Structure 1
């Protein structure tokens, strides 16, 4: 399982490598470039699934969000 994901802000394009938590859900991320609060897109379970280079741990483990 890959726990590092590069989040890309859709507003300013800033990229940050973040470690995904395995014991909690991360629904929001504040962009360090422009300050925008990122939220998952409709149908996605976590911010990493919407804006990350790697899906969240539950999706990696069994193909769906828990």
Structure 2
């Protein structure tokens, strides 16, 4: 299953190395790690795509099934 991992890069609660390890251990070839940058605010992980939807739209476009 294609997997997109998203994390606020400068989140003070989460270590980047932990997120990288999680990503590295996902056993699928079709995966992507997207860092939300420019903010240390954890909540921006939830609002980031509503403000900048380009990455999510690109991901969905690439993985849409056609009938």
TM-score (norm 1): 0.27
* Higher-Rg member (1/2): 2
TM-score (norm 2): 0.27
**Higher share of residues assigned helix:** 2
